[in-house]
Amino acid sequence: MVNRIVVPKDDFASDLRYARERSGKSYARQLWETLRLMAGPGLLSPWDYHRYRLWDDAIPWERKREFIGDNSHGWFIHRVSAPEQEPLMRDKVTAGEILRRGGIPVPRLLAVFHPKRELEGTLVLRSADQLAAFLREKVEYPFFYKPVTGNMSAGAGLALSYDRQADAMVRQGDEPLSVADFARSVEEHCSRDSPGAHRRPDQGYLFQGLETNHPAIAEICGPTLATFRIYVIADDRGPRIHCISWKIPGPESPADNFYREGNFYADVDERTGVVRRALRGAGSRLQVFDHNPNNGKTIAGFQIPCFDELCEAVLRGAALFPGSRYAGWDAAVTPRGPIVVEANYGSAFVLGQLSTGRGFLTPEFREYARRAKKLNTSRGFLWPVSWNRDESIWRLSGIAKLAKSLISRGAGAS
């Protein structure tokens, strides 16, 4: 099989029908609730209303108002975090070096592909030919590769071995790929224009030594690294953990992003490290389990090993980026102990809200946001720093997507 990222297509009319079938709630009432939440403190979109299944009357109305909409994300980060922290954290090489120098365990960096960048003590590959020679003769398989900046594990993969006869990389969850084709694709990737602050192809590609799960985790999840998305908030009282989501890859998946086929996620008690429940999908596709759906192993009630050390490593790492007052840290527990895999400046709210089943805008989170906002003297009224023109147009196009969905499918929803 070819493992791929699957982001379900928005279809508001289908969501309306599904919610009516499950709850008995009329289309008019769903639309009225959607409009109220769009005007509420979380500024939810129609897709947020269905993604979090907020049509369910088992959720009290005040709890529905605690969910933050995806399109509010940029504005929130802009208000609480210092923008100068963004390029440091989004650059996985720079952030990794800061963490390493701060004594935080991180994955081993094997090499970086970049036409011009200089990195002391790190092999830098300048061309497709150099990268191809590295893949054929120098690197130790298996290894992990990904863009220096990026999100949703796009462009990431796990190279298992080198097939010398075919001159190809054997990859987990993906078809074998010619070394020459892979090297050329990396070179082309790094020559593209930037589509936004969170995706900068010109920053290069990195290659890391393979990390695997702690034996207790591997027993229920398999060896492919399953990272914890640890949401850290910080104000004048310092950094602390808000919630923890566990991203668990399927047996053929090269990465643990929860959108990938076969992957799922879990809610972890941030105080004890005990798994509360496992989930897959969202909205009409949401499934809730007490076990690993890929192998049947019980996961609810599982105690994360080395949990205190894991949290300590993340909080120590967060303290190295004091201007980032809200971030999602990806960390894992390996046979050698906890490691911090990467920092995610202004991590999206979606995974945390889906896994916990709660919105972030609790009274405690609101108090934190007020205190963090006072510390952020560099904020302004301008467009959020993470957005450029293309991203802004994409967000505004949500209105057009809603109209198109209702026009094309609305007749069947009457």
pTM above 0.85, yes or no: yes
6 with 95, same domain: the answer is yes
Whether 353 and 365 map to the same domain: the answer is yes
Are residues 320 and 358 part of one domain?
A: yes
Q: How far apart are CA 5 and CA 255, in angstroms?
A: 10
Tokens of 205: 């590609």
Residue 411 has pLDDT above 50, yes or no: no
The reply to whether 289 and 346 lie within a common domain is yes
Percentage of the residues of the chain whose pLDDT score is greater than 90: 69
The CA distances from residue 311 to 44, 288, 314, 315, in Å, are 31, 26, 5, 6
Q: How far apart are CA 242 and CA 117, in angstroms?
A: 36
Whole-angstrom distance, CA of residue 56 vs CA of residue 102? 46
Last residue of a domain, one of 209, 228, 262: 209
pLDDT at 117: 82
- Residues 6 or more apart whose Cβ sits within 8 Å of residue 345: 77, 81, 85, 86, 89, 90, 198, 324, 327
Residue 83, preceding peptide bond in cis (omega within 30° of 0): no
Residue 394 is predicted with a pLDDT of: 41
Q: Out of 209, 240, 269, pick the residue that ends a domain.
A: 209
Q: Within this chain, do residues 96 and 173 fall inside the same structural domain, yes or no?
A: no
Rounded Cα gap, residues 169 and 136, in angstroms: 9
Domain co-membership, 329 together with 374: yes
Q: Go through 290-320 and write b for each residue having 16 or more CB atoms within 10 A of its CB, e for each that does not.
A: eebbbeeeebeebebbbbeebbebbbebbeb
Residue 193 belongs to domain spanning: 108-209
> pLDDT for 263-312, tens place per residue?
999 999 999 999 999 999 999 999 999 999 999 999 999 999 999 999 99
Q: Are 228 and 247 in contact (CB under 8 A)?
A: yes
Q: What is the pLDDT of residues 301-349, one digit of tens each?
A: 999 999 999 999 999 999 999 999 999 999 999 999 999 999 999 899 9
Asked if 259 and 202 sit in the same domain, the reply is no
Residues 355-381 have pLDDT tens digits of 999 999 999 999 999 999 999 876 554
Query: Total domain count for the chain?
Result: 2
Q: Under a CB-based contact definition with an 8 Å cutoff, are residues 255 and 247 in contact?
A: no
Instruction: Give the tens place of pLDDT for each residue, 161-194.
Output: 999 999 999 999 889 999 999 999 999 888 766 5
CB atoms within 10 A of CB 407: 10
CA gap 340, 331 in Å, rounded: 4
One domain, residues 238 and 375: yes
- What distance in Å separates the CA atoms of residue 357 and residue 351, rounded to the nearest whole number? 10
**What is the rounded average pLDDT of the residues 38-55?**
93
What's the pLDDT at 392?
45
- 105, 81 Cβ separation under 8 angstroms: no
- How does the average pLDDT of the chain come out, rounded? 87
Classified as helix, coil or strand, 84 is: coil
Tokens for 226, please give them: 């399953």
* Pair (81, 113) in one structural domain: no
CATH number, domain of 244, equals 3.30.470.20
- 201 and 262 fall within a common domain: no
Same domain, yes or no: 243 and 200 = no
**Is there a contact between 232 and 315 (Cβ–Cβ < 8 Å)?**
yes
Among 176, 192, 209, the domain boundary falls at 209
Q: Is residue 304 domain-shared with residue 331, that is, in the same domain?
A: yes
